[in-house]
Structure 1
Amino acid sequence: MMITTFRLLSLVAFLLSFASPGLHAQNMVNNPSFESYTSCPSGFSTMGPPTNTFTVNNWYLASPGSSDYFNTCGTGQTAVPTNFFGKQMPRTGNGYIGGYWVFTDSFASREYMQTQLSTPMVAGQQYYISFYVSLAETNKAQVGSNALATYQIGAHFANASTNQFVNQLPLVPQVTNATGNYITDTVGWVKIDGMYTAVGGESWLIIGNFAPFLSQNYITYATTNVPNLGGYGYYYMDDVCVFNMSGAGNITVHDTSICDQNTSATLYGQPGMDSYLWSNGQTTQGSTISATGTYWVRSIGNCEAYVDTFHVNALGQLQPPKLGNDTAVCFGKSITLNAQNSAYTSYQWNTGATTSSITAGTTGMYTVTVGSDCGMFADSIYLTVKPEVPMTPALDTTLCTGAGYSIILPLSGPQFKWHLDPADAGTTQQPPIDASRAGSYTYYLTRTVDGCQSNPSTVQVNVLNTPKINLPEDTALCLHQQVTLGAAMDGVSYLWNTGSTECCINITESGLYHIKAFNYCGVAEDETAVQFSDCENCIWTANAFTPNGDGLNDKFTIQNLCPLRTYQIRIFNRFGQLVFSTTDINRHWDGTYNGQPCD
């Protein structure tokens, strides 16, 4: 057996991680990374209330606080990277905005930023929002206060813009940073994101700290070592993203097979994303699975969203074809080579066949190459056809009656089998042969060599009659009578001295008749005399005899000239005594009674 794998994809991710078309979700935020402006910033108060653009386009204040715009083209207090509040490079591009989001003073006004979305939200549909923040370093020598950090940062969606003259906006954010996740990073950018199901009609986005003053939570990030000195927290913000997650265009479905031969495999979401969420709860790019089924992953990053659905089948089930070990068959036999597997899509044998199985009956190598969703596999098997086993020699046998019962023919051994029918299983014991009577018997004999059986030889056993002849004693008949001599025996030939070759002849003339019966079993001969006479005067006797012992006419005889069925003679003396009696015509009276001459 030889198994060859032409191509085996160990993970479906090889097919999928980089195969999706890179679906861009449409960002509903105008000027999301603050690259569009009317003039470069040169100081504070660079943003105005709704519809009033001071420097940065599409972004406005929502409260009396004066949020700020920073750009690499700016100077002084709002320059990039070094400005009044510290040093920070934009996450992307050249600009970002910032504001005070936490104070220890309840009378201080928090700062909020708002923008109008490109299209109103649709009721019941789900939207994704994300933005990045970084805590300003805060130059304490300039400001003279402690630096604070908070986690209470969120986003509120509204049907209209707001411009309330309050220190804290009385709004409830629909998306918030995780509780306790204090944002203290002054070097990098921290992502805040979440999902929002629209009520309908929301067209404005407001970002800031919406916690009531008495409910706000903060920690001191840096201190001036001045007792009882208050503090604040100033945050930069960049790369704001809002898009509709409910559109079908954001979903890619992959109907595929996991071709990993192990019991588990790893699926992958889109590379380079900021966050991942799998249907099984995992949040990494790769998700290890151990069962077939349907899985999905939502990959989000850089205001792009991908939803990949994997219909997984054949996990750990697909195997290369297995034709088995090299094998041998007997001459005239064949085997079925089967590569059937429901996961295979095509079959190609080196014989030219394209079916899942073939019948093989000649010596040689047989190779099948199968195709599947996981690639191409091949397996081979070498088949040897053993030489034909010679048939047993002819054992036709002729036996003669009288040889007995259960005659054993001169062929035996475990390699030979006797059969009463060519199709039966056969036995190593020769069937009994009854030679007590004539008949014909047919048997079949096979020979087994190296596990292979020869074609059956026909064994014909003929039991012949041993010739026997038993003609009657010499016979006398009347002229008008006839007699049949001989008896038939199957398988015996005959020859009479008359020239006849029949078993039996009808005799009508006096003479000596000789017969010879012969066959393979021998020769038998016999003869008899037949005398025909005139039976009108067939019995006579002399009227006197002289029992004096001189050898002349000493006995009383009956002369018979014709055949008799029965014969009896009784002789009485003059006193009525029975002196002689016989049924044998050849027995004669000598004239005595009880050994004494009769008077």
Structure 2
Amino acid sequence: MRYSIFFYCFFIMLKLHAQNLVPNASFEAYALCGTEITCKNLTPNADAPCYSTCCSSGLPESPDHTISGTKNWWAVSRVNYINGGTPVYISGCIINNWIEEQASTGKHVNTDWYRPRTGNAYILIRTYGGWDISNPQDTTNTRDYAQVRLTVPLQAGCSYEASCYVLNQHGYNDFPSSLSQGTQQADGFGLYFSKDSVYRHYESGQYRALTDIIPQVSNPAGHLLTDTVNYKKISGVFTASGGEEWLVIGNFKDNAHTQAVYNYLDKAVYAVDDISVQEWKPDLVSFTDTTLCADSTLTITLPEGLKEYKWSTGETARQITIAAGNGRYTVEASNGCTILRDTFYLHAVPRYTALDLGKDTFFCKIPAQYALTSPVRFDSYLWSNGAAAAHISITKADTYWLEGTYSCGVLTDTITVSAFEKPDTILLPAADTVLCSDAFLDIELSHAAMYDSYQWNNGSAADRLRIHHAGMYSIQAYTPEGCEVLDTINVSMIYPPANIHISDTLLCSGMQLIVSVPEQAGYTIRWYDGTAAVHSTIYQEGEYWVDIENRCYTVSDTFQVHVVDCALTIPNLITVNGDHKNDFFEIQTAVSRTLEIVLYSSWGRKVYASNDYKNDWNAEGLDAGLYYYQITDSVLRKKYTGWIQVIK
């Protein structure tokens, strides 16, 4: 009987009670060089037992050679490097010694293709293509096959599961081998079981591929084995005729029935690892404990290929239907050589009438620990936010739904959780503001209709205030649901600048006049020429003005500047006789200013000095005569000297 093959990219754990009937299933065991048939002339090397690459040339050609370099495995045909027929044995020992051998010649070694599935060893099998020297148009007879003797013969009528893992060995061209590079992708691969070993001797081109054999397990037609990275599992279940003791692996289809990507001259080479043959002992029931809706039934179907079914209900069919109810059930079935048993439990679940998450909910502020919880228990939960627990924490307003799945089906419900969206501010103006000292300000509530009660810090309960004073104004407002909103605004007052007055002024010709106004924080100064400093410098006669302003007020002043000749008129004679005429040394000028003066007698003695002369010297206590003066005018930066005669 032939069964379909299944592909798996993942590793399936073997049952603890399963026994693999394939010896050296992963090719890890091997004989020392010098003892296997193809290396019989070599001297064993205990430090490097696989030093010679001839040990990797191929499996022993016949079971007649009882000593196998790969332990338990043989080729189906005699060694033939031109037409093939011998799988290649690859191991970490061989690879490492080859690397050392090539390194001694300075060659670069590429071992990217070396990929055992488990352990350190595997074999390479050509399944399609190549070149047949005896028949270049038909490459069927260039196939490789490997065979192994099982640990025990198969039992008649017993079901077995056979499997192996294969990998397209693309790029196998760096290792010295007759296989060279494999670039082809084909679908032909199978596992054949027989009572006797299979051996085809090659003499005068008479070697033939095993295309006259139908394997018990085959890769499905059209399923090209293309993966060059991950091993693919080829497996199947079959019933033994009895006494099968040998397993052969390879391609049992001729070229016409083998699907491939390229033409017949391109080789398809596959790494093969982890061969398994074991008694088929599937799980009868895929579960041990399950729930069932109280008003429904459960149909159970056992795996195909078993026989002698026996249920604890008394039924003997492969498939039965059980009505809902709590209970323990057992089932037995035979795989042809072993009675398999399984036990499972059923638990009845009542059907819920509905799922109710409750009424839609409103909060002024969603509580920190608020959660939505399913009122009934389900097997699985799916919330609108992706959560899969029986409850979810709620932190924001939204519409939430729950989909609960249990044995009786799926129930759903929706609830809306809404919350008061507290505004950042409810007062208009929205920010702190300033008020002119002669103005009023109306403070109002934005969206006043949202609130039904108010309380200001000045005791008012109105929805607005009219103010005329600086200060802080705050309000507590409440929505009809009782949600509180607080807001505060600070009002500052702006007052007029202090009045300014600049008198009309005389300016000495050729001099400058510096006029100043008081500096006041928060105010802007603007002079007649557009400058904004506290001081302004005037050089010529004219009318001038200055403004001092803030956001609310402006004060101004205008003043005149007249330019005059400020030269000094100094007398050369005074008569001190009490007639109040020319009694004092009076210096005349159009603009009064500070003058420094020093007077000396004709003998050079200082008789008078003043830093701010007031025209008050009359030679009191001094004799009549001539006196020398020095006058300093700091404004005009001039000095005057001369003689003054005093007559008494």
Give yes or no for TM over 0.5.
no
Which TM-score tier does this pair reach, normalised by the shorter chain?
0.3 to 0.5
Determine which structure has greater relative contact order: mean sequence separation of CA pairs < 8 Å that are 6+ residues apart, divided by chain length. 1
